[in-house]
Amino acid sequence: MSSTAGTRTGRRHRVREEALAEILRTGRRLLVEEGPGAVTLRAIAREMGMTAPGLYRYYAGHRELIQALTSALYDELATALAAARDRHPSAEPGRQLREAGRELRRWALAHPNEFTLLFAKPVTDADTTPGTVAHDSSWRFGGVILGLMVRLWRSGTIHPPADLDPAWVTQLEEVREHLSGEPVPLEVIYVFVASWARLYGTVAVEVFGHLDFALTDPEPLFEHTLDDILIALGDTAD
């Protein structure tokens, strides 16, 4: 390939990447301003001064667009949680997990519509099953939390329930597959999942306004929940 042809190819690639980035920025703006239902190819094309068929050069359809937006948001959230984690020494996984949990709440409250798209999944195309574009990025996000839980497990202070139904526990095999060979017992992974459910649930009820009937400031409840989660995960540090 000649240098001129290579330059043209590089320019086309750069132009395409810039267009893809602008489409996602526009989609996110519509998400923030009008909610998940507003993120359509037609609406984005209108905002960008394009025709809807023109967007098909970049995304094959609505599903592919939403997958790309979902993936980008998971990556952003994973980066935010990792930055919060890394503000504290790696020798203190409990403190790191506390800060990552706090960052999840901060991000969710600052980006309620983005949080809704990721975790309430009001749009069916915001899918994270294996084989989808958003699958790996969702696990990069999950890996920040899960990695800290694994480090707490290594301390040997987690005491899982002894009476879990084996048929139920085997559902957790997929989670263990994402632990890069860590031999975490499935009963301990149950503790991980239960802890995540409490963390997510406490954030979600606040973001979605379901604590307004009782609390004007849900932060103390959130902090109390973090305390309970860390105790369940065997962290006894203050």
Q: Residue 40: give the domain boundaries.
A: 1-59
Tokens describing residue 115: 């949080």
- Is 45 within 8 Å of 51 (Cβ atoms)? yes
Whether the pLDDT of residue 5 is over 60: the answer is: no
- 186 and 143 within one domain: yes
- List the single range of 4-18, 20-34, 88-102 with lowest mean pLDDT: 4-18
Tokens describing residue 134: 């958003």
Q: pLDDT, tens digit, for every residue of 202-238? A: 999 999 999 999 999 999 999 999 999 999 999 976 5
The chain-wide mean pLDDT, for the chain, equals: 91
Q: How many domains does the chain have?
A: 2
Q: How far apart are CA 176 and CA 184, in angstroms?
A: 7
Q: How far apart are CA 236 and CA 163, in angstroms?
A: 24
- 76 and 48 within one domain: no
- 137 and 85 within one domain: yes
**CA dist 126 → 37, 54, 132, 139, 180 (Å):** 12, 23, 9, 14, 26
Q: How far apart are CA 206 and CA 216, in angstroms?
A: 10
Per-residue confidence (pLDDT) for residue 14, from 0 to 100: 83
Q: What is the pTM assigned to this prediction? A: 0.90
- 215 and 112 within one domain: yes
- List the single range of 7-21, 144-158, 174-188, 207-221 with lowest mean pLDDT: 7-21
- 87 and 204 within one domain: yes
**CATH number reported for the structural domain that contains residue 31 in this entry:** 1.10.10
**CA dist 172 → 180, 202, 205, 222 (Å):** 15, 22, 25, 26
- The answer to whether residue 78 sits within a structural domain is yes
Q: pLDDT, tens digit, for every residue of 164-213? A: 888 888 888 888 888 877 899 999 999 999 999 999 999 999 999 999 99
- ∠ CA 209-129-70 to the nearest 5 degrees? 50
